[in-house]
Structure 1
Amino acid sequence: MTKVAFITGASSGMGKSTAEILLQQGYKVYGAARRVDRMQELQDKGMGVVALDLTEDASIVEAVATLLKKESRIDILINNAGYGSYGSVEEVPIEEAKRQFEVNIFGLARLTQLVIPTMRKQKSGRIVNISSMGGKIYTPFGAWYHATKFALEGWSDCLRLELKQFGIDVVVVEPGGIKTEWGGIAMESLKKVSGSGPYAHLVNKVVASMDTTNDKLTPVEVLGKEIAKAATVEKPKTRYLKGYLAKPLVGMRKWLGDKTFDKMILSQLK
C-alpha cells in the first residue's frame, strides 16, 4: 500500500523541497497552494496538485474532499503553509493581524480538523506542523508572526495528547534561518508598514541585520530532509529544531532571563 502525504505551501521553499524528497521515497504526494501554476514542476514529477486558500473555509473543505475522493486515505499531513507579517504592533492594521492568524493558525487548524477523522478510522497517521524557532523566541516587529507560532506550539502539544490514543503522531518542526522567499517578504512588509514612522530607526537596523545574515542561512534542502524525516521516521521526536541560529537562540532563551535575552537581541541591532 502506497502511503499518501498532503503538504500545504508546496509551491516553493520548504514545502516544495519536502514534496520532492517524499516523491523520491515513493510516497503518493499531494501538494496544495494558492498558486497552483507554480507547482507544475512537481506535477510533472508525479505530484498531485490541489488548490488551497487557507483564508477561505470552502477552499479548505474542497481541498480535503478532492484528495479523499481520489485516495480515500491520508497518512501524512504537513502543515507548512504560512507567512510572516512584520511591522510594529502600533502600526500593523488589526485586519492584517487577523489574516496572519487566519493563515498560520485558524486555516491550519481547520484543515487538520477535516483530516483527523480519516486518520482516526485508519488508526494511524502523522501530522507535522511547521512552526519556527520564532515559536520559542521573540524579535522586534515580529509580534503577530511570533504570536501565531507560539500559539501553534501550544496547540500542537494539546493535539498530540488528544490523538495519541488513535495511533496518530503530532510532530513540530522549528526551522531557524532558512534560504527561502520568507525573509525577503517579511522585510518588505516591515519596511512598508514601519519603515518611515516613529520606529524607522530600529526598522533600518533590523533590515540591515537581515541583509548581513543572508549568506549564513541554511539551504532549504536541509529543512526539506528534516521535515521528511519528521514525517516518516518510525518513532518521531515531538520536536525537530533545525537551521541557522535555531539551537543557540532557543537555548539562550531557555536559560537566560527575560531582560538578559532582551539585551542580547537588541545588542545585535546596534
Structure 2
Amino acid sequence: MQKTIFITGASSGLGKTAAKLFQSKGWNVMATMRKPEDERELSQLENVTVLKLDVTDSKELKETIDDILENHEIDVVLNNAGYGLVGPLEAFTDEQIKAQIETNLMGVIRITKAFTPYFRLKKEGILINITSSFGLTGFPTCSVYSATKFAVDGFSESMGYELAQFGVKVKIVAPGGIQTDFAGRSLDGAYHEAYQQLIAKVQEGYSPEQIANYSKPEDIAQVIYEAATDGTDQLRYIAGKDANALYNERTETGAEAQVQRIQSDFVF
C-alpha cells in the first residue's frame, strides 16, 4: 500500500529535498509551505500535493490538517519548518525572540498536537522532528535558536513516552551544517558591537570553505527516510560528520568537558 508523508517547510532546502526523495521512493507527499504560489518544482511531480501552511498560524494549521485527515491517510509527519536566529542575546528584540519560538518550537508542538489523536486512534504513525546539532550542544550567538532546538528534543523524547502505548513513534533527526541556503534565506540575526570579536570568530564557520565541508541535503534527507522506514524504536538520528563529531565528544568526554573546550575557543 502506498504510504503518505506530510512535510512542513517544503519550499526549499532540506524540506524540498526530503519531499523529492520520498516521492522518488513511491510515496505520496503532502508538501506544505507558506507561499505555494511560488513553487515551480514540486507541483510538477506525480503524487505530490503542494499546500499552503504557516506553522505560526494556529487557525490555518488546524483547518489545513483537518481537511487533509478527512481525505487522506497519513503515515509519517515531518516537522521541518524552521529558521536560525543568530547573534548575541542582548541584540535581539522581543519580536525576534517570539518569532523564533513560534516557528521552531510552537510550530512543532501545534503540528504534533493536531496529528496526535489521529495517530492514537489509528494505533500507528511516525512523527519525525528536525532539530540540530545545536539542539544537542550549545553554541555562541545561537542562544535562542539552541533553546528552541533543545526544547524540541526534550518535547520529542517526552512525546515518545506518551505515545508508545498507542504504537506511535516519535523520532528526532539532528543535522549539522547543510549545504543549503539556510545560512542566507533561512537566517535572521542582529549585531552588537561589544561582541564583535566573537561574531567574527563564529562567522568563520559560515565561510564558503566551511560550507563546502557541510553535508549535502540529499544525505540528510536519506537519514530522514531511514528514520521513517527502518521499523525501529530509535529516538535520535545524528546526521552529518560534524554533528556526529560533536555528539560523540559529548557522550565520550562528558558535557562539562565539552563546554570547557568550546568556551576556551571564544575567550579573547
Do the structures match in fold with TM over 0.5?
Answer: yes
In 2 relative to 1, CA 260–45 (structure 1 residues): closer, same or farther, beyond 3 Å?
closer
Q: 2:234 aligns with which of 237, 247, 252?
A: 237
Structure 1 length as normaliser, TM-score? 0.91
Conserved 8 A contact 2:8-2:78: yes
Alpha carbon RMSD of aligned pairs, Å?
1.9
SS in 2 for 1:199: helix
Following TM superposition, by how much is the alpha carbon of 1:259 offset from its aligned partner in structure 2, in angstroms? 6.0
- C-alpha change, 1:87 and 1:69, in structure 2 (3 Å) is same
- In structure 2, runs of 5+ residues without a counterpart are none
Asked if the contact 1:230/1:236 (under 8 Å) is kept, the reply is no
CA contact (8 A) 2:249 2:258 kept: no
Counterpart contact for 1:206–1:269, Cα < 8 Å: no
Q: Which amino acid letter does the alignment assign opposite residue 69 of structure 2?
A: L
Letter in 2 for 1:156: S
| CA 257–116 in structure 1, closer or farther in 2 if over 3 Å, else same | closer
State yes or no: 1:59 paired with 2:56. Answer: no
**1:202-235 C-alpha deviation (Å, 9 max, x unpaired):** 2122113321411101111001111011112222
**Structure 2 letter corresponding to 1:36:** P
Tell me the distance in 1 between the aligned counterparts of 2:61 and 2:23: 23
Provide, for residues 51-73 of structure 1, a one-character-per-residue CA deviation record: whole Å limited to 9, x for no partner.
Answer: 111111112112202312331x2
Inter-partner Cα distance in structure 2 for 1:140 and 1:225? 29
What is the TM-score of this pair, normalised by structure 2? 0.92
The aligned runs of 1:3-152 (5 Å cut-off) are 3-46=3-46, 47-71=48-72, 73-152=73-152
How far off its partner does 1:267 sit? 2.3
| 1:10 match: secondary structure | coil
Q: Residue 198 of structure 2 contacts residue 266 of structure 2 at CA under 8 Å; is this kept in 1?
A: no
Unpaired segments ≥5 residues, structure 1: none
- Distance in 2 between the 1:36 and 1:43 partners? 9
Q: For the Cα contact (< 8 Å) 1:10–1:33, is it kept in 2?
A: yes
Distance 1:22 1:268 in 2: 41
Q: Which residue of 2 aligns with 1:198?
A: 194
Distance 1:45 1:260, change over 3 A: closer
Contact 1:21–1:224 (CA<8 Å) still a contact in 2? yes
User: Deviation of residue 133 (structure 1)?
Assistant: 1.0
The farther-off stretch of 79-88 and 201-210 is 201-210
- Secondary structure at the aligned position of 1:198 is classed as helix
Q: Do the aligned residues in 2 keep the contact of 1:131 with 1:153 (CA within 8 Å)?
A: yes
83-92 or 251-260: bigger deviation: 251-260
The whole-number CA distance in structure 2 between the counterparts of 1:76 and 1:153 is 18
Aligned residues: 265
Report the Cα offset of residue 7 of structure 1.
0.5
**How many percent of aligned residue pairs carry the same amino acid?**
33
Shift of the 113–42 alpha-carbon distance from structure 1 to 2, 3 Å rule, reads same
Following the alignment from structure 1 to structure 2, what is the Cα–Cα distance between the partners of residues 129 and 54?
14
Separation in structure 2 between the aligned mates of residue 214 and residue 15 of structure 1, nearest angstrom:
19
Is the CA contact 1:175–1:243 (under 8 Å) kept in the aligned structure 2? yes
- 1:60 partner letter: L
Question: 2:262 — aligned with what?
Answer: 264
Instruction: Give the aligned residue type for 1:263.
Output: R
Q: Please state if 1:222 is matched with 2:219.
A: yes
Alignment of 1:170 onto 2:170: yes
CA contact 1:177–1:244 (8 Å) conserved in 2: no
